[in-house]
Amino acid sequence: MLYGKLRFAALVLASFLIFGLSSNAWAHKVISAAYPDGNLIEGEIGFSNGDMAKNLLVEVFDTAGNKLGETTTDEEGFFVFTATKKIDHIFRANLSAGHIAMLTVTADELPDDLIGGSIADATGNQDAASSEKDAAVPSNLSDTKLVVMDQAALEKLLSKTSKEVRSLRKELAQYKEERRMQDILGGIGYILGIFGIASFLLGRFKTTKGA
């Protein structure tokens, strides 16, 4: 009998191990992020456990629902889309089994040299951009010491910075996904509290069996 019980426990353990062999796409949350870099929009789609969505079709829409184009993710779940208009881009990917990744890149994250959604919009944007530029340039330019940098060095620095920002964003996204102990304990507390109040209320309206 003891032998049988031990085997039962072993069976429970073994069946937990079965889990490792199955791909449980449904068990996770979809994580996705898009980082505009010039007129390129880079993004990634994956699951919260670290599995990335491979070779997945990503469709791009504007806010009105018109399709702007599509792209596919590579082996590491990354996709690249070249924006041609300075409008809001909505990326939508169906990971099937009820998982939808939805990303929005707003117009002001894109560079100003792109054509706007409409002509009036575009001129408006350009006006705003040019006035911003004017304000940004210090009026007493001659007084400031300018560090001269060649184009290559500047580009190198920029790509380094954007890489760093990207990894920071990724970490932030991961941090948001983390389930912390106090959240779980808090959830249990909420549940017990809700049912405590419910039993109080129910007790006022219904008499108990014994009474």
Partner 1 sequence: MHIVDGALSNPVLIGGGIIAAAGVAYSLKKLEPEDLPRVGVLSAVFFVVSLIHVPLGFSSVHLILNGLLGIILGWAAFPALVVALLLQAVFFGFGGLTVLGVNAVNIAFPAVMVFFICRWGITAQQQNLAKLVADVLFAIFFILSIWAGVSLYEAFQVEGATWRVSVNSISLALFALVMIYGYILYRRKTLSVAGFWGFLGGSLSIFFTSVMVAISLALSGDEFVKAAEFVIVAHFPVMAVEGILTAATIQLITKVKPELINAVR
173 binds partner 1 (CB under 8 A): no
Under 8 Å between Cβ of 143 and 13: no
Instruction: Pick between residue 140 and residue 200 the one whose CB is nearest to partner 1.
Output: 200
Instruction: Pick between residue 93 and residue 110 the one whose CB is nearest to partner 1.
Output: 93
* Cβ neighbours of 89 (radius 10 Å): 25
Interaction residues for partner 1, span 48-67 (CB under 8 A): 49, 51
199 binds partner 1 (CB under 8 A): yes
Structure tokens at 3: 């032998």
Using CB atoms within 10 A of its CB, is residue 13 exposed (0-12), middle (13-18) or buried (19+)?
Answer: exposed
Query: Binding pattern to partner 1, positions 130-149, x when CB under 8 A?
Result: --------------------
Q: How far is the CB of 89 from partner 1 (least distance, A)?
A: 17
Instruction: Pick between residue 145 and residue 206 the one whose CB is nearest to partner 1.
Output: 206
184 binds partner 1 (CB under 8 A): yes
Please identify which residue in 102, 128, 165, 172 interacts with partner 1, judged by CB under 8 A: 102
188 binds partner 1 (CB under 8 A): yes
Task: Provide the 3-class DSSP secondary structure of residue 129.
Answer: helix
Q: How far is the CB of 37 from partner 1 (least distance, A)?
A: 26
Beta strands at 57-61 and 40-47: parallel, antiparallel or unpaired: unpaired
Structure tokens at 10: 């072993």
Beta strands in 83-157 (DSSP E): 85-86, 89-96, 99-105, 115-116
Beta strands in 10-126 (DSSP E): 30-37, 40-47, 57-61, 67-72, 78-82, 85-86, 89-96, 99-105, 115-116
192 binds partner 1 (CB under 8 A): yes
User: 37 vs 11, 43, 202, CA distance in Å?
Assistant: 52, 10, 58
Instruction: Pick between residue 27 and residue 158 the one whose CB is nearest to partner 1.
Output: 27
- Summarize as ranges the residues that interact with partner 1 (CB under 8 A): 1, 4-5, 7-8, 11-12, 15-30, 49, 51, 96-100, 102, 179, 183-184, 186-188, 190-192, 194-196, 198-199, 202-203, 206, 208-209
